[in-house]
Every structure is written in C-alpha cells, then in structure tokens.
Structure 1
C-alpha cells in the first residue's frame, strides 16, 4: 500500500494549499488529485518524481511511510519554513520598573533576585549594555501640555558614578537617591546633582553625587499617546513663508 495519497494531503495542509492550487502546481486535474489522496488511483512515476523533487522529499519516504508534520517541516526546498536557517536577532531583555514595583525597587535595586522578577521589555538595543525601563507615574516632566505623562515608558542606560559629571546639562535621567526614585533633568554643580522637573511648579531637588545609588540616562522613549508635533512644525513653516515673502518684496523694490 502506498502512502502517497496521505502524504500529499498532509503536505497541502502544511503549505495551506487547496486541492485546486496543488493540482494546478503540478498540472493535474483536481479530481485526479482527489483520487490520489483517497487511494482510488495511483500516480504516474513522472508525477511522483516532480512532487518529490519540488518539496525535496525522498521518493522512498513519500511512498513507503506516513510522514509527520514535524518531519515535513524539516525538509529543505519549497516546503520548509527555513526556521532552522534563519539567524534570529537577539533582543535585549530590559527589566521594567512599574508603579507597583517602584517602592520595592528603591529597596532592592542592587539585588539580582529582585531584578529577575521585574517585568521585561524586549528591544533591539545593544545587549552588552545595561538598560532599565521606567514607567512614568506623575506629571513632574510636563510643561504646557507637552512632555511625559503617567504610563509613558522611558528606557535608560546605566551611568557609572565616574561618568555623571560628564553628562550634558539637562540630560534626562532617573535615579535612585535616598528613599526616592526620581525622573528629571540632571544639572551637575561641583559635587552636587540638581534634579529639575519640567513642570514650573515643582521645586528642584539637590543631592551630593556620592548619595546617588544608581543613575540611568534616558536613551529611548515610548509614549502612551502620540505626541503633538504639528503645532511646532506649522509655526516654523509659517515663519519661513513670511521670511520668503519679505525677501520677495525686497527684491521687487530694488
């Protein structure tokens, strides 16, 4: 008994091909293919060879044993998904600080067992560097309806203590200092760190650099909503249009 019929039906299932599509692929009639699958007819040797070659399946395997789906997926040729041949890109696993874990993070920020239990964000960033994600929880970094809102997520790269003084003025950071986790802009004066909010009603907080337990420089931002960029762009276009009109008028008067 040949397993040809069962195997080509299974191939169709793996490939997602209808009887009509499969039949047309090998210049067969749909009824003829149905007869093969039901065991009412045996194919010509030329048909067997064409199908076996197309899917890179040994003729002996196609005829003498029932193939499993897993076996079919391992065959090379047009049938395979090439899953084993594709080099998968490795995304970095970034622990994420949320509203629910922020207080615990302050206490256990340097404990590997705790960090492993944090939710994970996967991103195509350099996996050799250390990153941390932070979920914004307040309105301190908003200004005139712009900026960061609760549930926005910022991704920070760890900054060694020796590098803090080299950060640009106004760099976005989130830091563990004292019993707080603070997301603000950093200004370094002598050996002190001034953490300044964008919201005008929030006072600066100042700490000695030696008191900072951990600091992360913001590299990437994920907004919960789409930021409004249109106003700024439109204002610039209007300004450019006005300047061009002035130049045109001046040239016309010369």
Structure 2
C-alpha cells in the first residue's frame, strides 16, 4: 500500500521524485524502488514520509489514500508513535527526564526530536516499544521521586488492565505515573495514586496523548527507608485519629 500512496501523494502535491528524495535525504533511485514496491522503507523513514505529507503513519501504510481522505479515526486508538531505532533496526529506549517533559509534550510526534533524546539500555527486555520516564512527586510511594519508569507503549486504550500502573501523557497533566482503571462507558481513565494522601481523578480519552504500561523501574534511593517512613506516617495518622476519637468519648 505504501508504494501506491507515495505515488498518489507526490502527484497530489506536484512533487517530483528528485524533490521528494532530496527532502527525505535519500537517493532518487531508492525512492523509485519504494514506489515500484521492490523494497520497503524502514520505520524511521516512513515516519519522515508521513510527516512530510501531513498524514499519519497508519494512513500511509494501511489505507488507499486515493480513495479516501486521511482523517483521525477516533475511538480508543492512540496516535501512531514516533520512535528511533538503532543500527540493527531495534527500537531504542528513549529517556524523558523531568527537565525534558515540557519539550516532550510539544514534540512527542516529531521523529527528529525523539531521535535526539538520551537513550538507555535495559538488558533482556521483551520485544516491543519502550520509553523511560522520570517521575515527579510522592504520589506513587514507595516508588521515589526521580525514579525512572521503563514502560511499554499501549496502542489501544482497550488494552489497559484495571489496577495496573501506567505512565499517562496528556497536555493538561503532563507526564503522570498512576494506577489506572478504564471507565470505557464514560470514555474516561480513573487515575489512582498509591499514596492515599492524593485523591483519584478522571481523564477523558480525548485528553490522552500516550499511555505506557509499567515494565520495570530504576530507583536511586533506599526503598526500605522510604517504606519505613511511609509506615511511620501511617502509624502517626492512626494514632492521631485514635486520639481524636478518645477526646470525643471523654468529652461526652
């Protein structure tokens, strides 16, 4: 399908093979081979082509654009992901730290931006598309602020499993790491913090840009100390409540 769409889009925009090849940074003969179906471009180049013509990767490779207008398909499908690959065409694990979060929200669909993010290596990880996100705040203790969540890309919101933890990316909330329940009938995700000091809240499907399922995390602090601190806080809270109940009973 991609060879048909390349020829159609090039003709629609009145672009010669030489002009398109130069814009993509490839020889004209290579582009000609793509259009004749002799070989297929790699994923990074296909993303570049889709961006050049203003269509999604899904439209470029799966639909005959000559017979339909590209449009956002809606539903619970998330966007096609921009990725970078290593010399062996395996997906890299890009790292999005808290300093890069604002830039990521603006440029997450730009393959050039993604390509320039720092890369991390995680041994024996299953095949898939992964990203590392540095988390902020204490809402998911005992996972400490500054921990790196290694997570796998979720293509469809229907694939979310209730009660598991995910990184959810949105323009309204930025990058958040939460335990999730999928409220499909209302087209919402319920985002729940493991730290009970934070109230759950909902996010509508339309606000969500990306969802990543937890695979592992890298922590740089003493988790036993963190757990003990949490336990002490809970015990103090229980003692405070017991004290309040005792005061009410004595007062009566």
Return the TM-score normalized by structure 2: 0.49
Larger Rg: 1
**Comparing both chains, which one has the higher relative contact order based on Cα–Cα distances under 8 Å and sequence gaps of 6 or more?**
2
